[in-house]
Amino acid sequence: MSISISISNSKIRGLLSILAPVFFWLAIWQVLSMVVAQELLVPAPLVVLNTFAMLVTTEVFWRSTGMSLLRIALGFVLGIAAGSAAAVLTTRFRVADLLVSPVLRIVRATPVASFIILALVWIKTGYLPAFISFLMVVPLTWGNVEKGIYHTDIKLLEMARVFRLSRLKTLIHVRIPSVMPYFMAACTTGMGLAWKSGIAAEVICRPALSVGKRLQDAKIYLETPEVFAWTITVIVLSMMLERLIVAVAKRFGQRFNASGGN
């Protein structure tokens, strides 16, 4: 009985720790909107919530969010694959490190807006968000995976050689488990970066069906509650995608380790 009570109390405390900050900032938002008293500048939370509820019932909302998710997910997946491949090459071959590493460092240091403006010259509007997401994810993944490869325990590799494990078994039992935490961190951070950069690209290039275009249209027509509603959509989707990536990566790691152990 006491155990069940303690569990329920811990759940209540956990729920309160999540809800308390939310209600606190909603109260701040409400007070700010009342002080400003200009819906054009700071709409009230309830107004934004009503606007969001109206948007969710429209076909345009789902088609726009669906196309944005498709573009950005494509760029993210390709970026993860290319970044991982680049990390393997740069850690294994000196020539690849000399040629590829400086380029990826430059890409990582260059502002997203610069790439968007330059890419508009060469890439069609519909493909630009995917390309920008890809471009932002590649150097991040490369840096994380490369760090994971370099931090692989040398003693474990020596043990694998002592027991005469094949390259495939060494890869499965030693190298990939060592790199996996760095890879998962790259996936989690990379999804958030891909989503934000992809939406920024949509705001500038304005594809026909996209969250970025709707956000920019709302701003042009001074529909501030709609701007807030679309912004909330971007934030919520970003958080959901990050949680999904973490769950998938953990599940993949568990299954991989289980199959490797056999």
**Buried residues in 191-213 as b, exposed as e (16+ CB within 10 A):** bebbbbbbbbbbbbbbbebbbbb
Same domain membership, residue 103 and residue 224: yes
Same domain membership, residue 29 and residue 65: no
pLDDT at residue number 262? 47
List C-alpha distances in Å: 241 to 117, 158, 194, 237.
Answer: 27, 39, 11, 6
Each residue of 231-248: pLDDT tens digit?
Answer: 999 888 888 888 888 777
Q: Which DSSP symbol is given to 208?
A: S
CATH of the domain at 219: 1.10.3720.10
**49 neighbors 103 (Cβ within 8 angstroms):** no
* Dist CA 91 CA 86 (whole Å): 9
The structural domain count of the chain equals: 2
- Residue ranges in the chain whose pLDDT is less than 50: 1, 3, 261-262
pLDDT at residue number 38? 83
Structure tokens at 98: 């000399």
Same domain membership, residue 147 and residue 190: yes
Dihedral of CA 12/13/16/17: which sign? negative
Same domain membership, residue 135 and residue 18: no
Same domain membership, residue 49 and residue 30: no
pLDDT at residue number 10? 67
Same domain membership, residue 119 and residue 21: no
pLDDT at residue number 25? 87
Question: What range defines the domain where residue 2 resides?
Answer: 1-37
pLDDT at residue number 134? 94
Same domain membership, residue 17 and residue 142: no
Same domain membership, residue 92 and residue 33: no
Nearest CA among 138, 134, 141 for reference residue 73: 134
Q: Which DSSP symbol is given to 171?
A: I
Same domain membership, residue 103 and residue 159: yes
pLDDT at residue number 137? 94
The gap from C-alpha 44 to its chain's centroid, in whole angstroms, comes to: 29
* Dist CA 166 CA 96 (whole Å): 25
pLDDT at residue number 123? 85
Same domain membership, residue 62 and residue 28: no
pLDDT at residue number 145? 92
Same domain membership, residue 63 and residue 183: yes
Same domain membership, residue 201 and residue 95: yes
